[in-house]
Structure 1
């Protein structure tokens, strides 16, 4: 190999450079002239890695992901038992937002359920590893919210199994139910507080 080929800048150090003839490879420049040594063109990181797949029939959902998805329903039960009229009357009379036992229970359940959700996400992450999933959505995303973890997990698991976990659709249904119940409680509470306020004003 001689200097007949196009040369890089004269100050270019020895190294691998794109082939001067435009071939899809790199050629070694020894600092003075091109050599006969060639190498494949570098590809973007990870491009050469084979796609990760799990054997057919590998489960896409675990017990832990179902527990994480359905856990918010636990807090809905006490909300449905709240005596909205008593809660509103207590709030008007004393200014306290804790005028109903079931409302207090629902409020106190928030942090324990949050902690359990993160724990279940971690256990699900570990279970997917035992099922030979080479790539997993990290459980720490559950600190932002269980739905964030479930969506990310759905994408990663589906790419490796070819099947979409049903847990995602269950999670969406739970979010819809939770939103509906919370909205119902808010509307009922506003109505009850308005009624209690009018009653209190009428007594003067």
Structure 2
């Protein structure tokens, strides 16, 4: 399948986080194609006050990976047995999802390419919706990667080290990283539809709690 032949709705329904990634390099033309698709995403007021920092430097990746593992252990590692022994159908990470996320926490530095989406003028922002100016474009990055057979996941588990990261990446003082997207060719898993609650359960009509039955197309 070529990137052009992947149907849009199929891509939207089958772009899960892929956390088992090979260290194989990504060709430059593929990487540029993915990035060029990302910047076609929505930008508030078309300001495009963003930058996309592509990281392949092992020294940078190893340092950030140590922060990532520390945060993983604090947020999830201490609950490992509880999560892995939870009854099937429990809300939150499934056993398989947990093991994939755990693998990424210990192998994220092996992903050949990292992308940090960066916003300018938001270093001191308190607006909880500030990410709306870039997260749509980040999803386009993930979808374009999927079209090229590349796996991605969107994570912020490197958090708590923004000043150190700003210095390492040479970011402007007013800039803030909004996520980390490791990217590579998947070695395990498949392009499957992520499990979600039924759409009828989470959609409300005109006001919260107002439901409407879904009529299937005839």
What's the TM-score, normalizing by structure 2?
A: 0.24
The structure in which a higher percent of residues are helix is: 1
Which of the pair has the greater relative contact order for Cα pairs under 8 Å at 6+ separation? 2
What's the TM-score, normalizing by structure 1?
A: 0.25
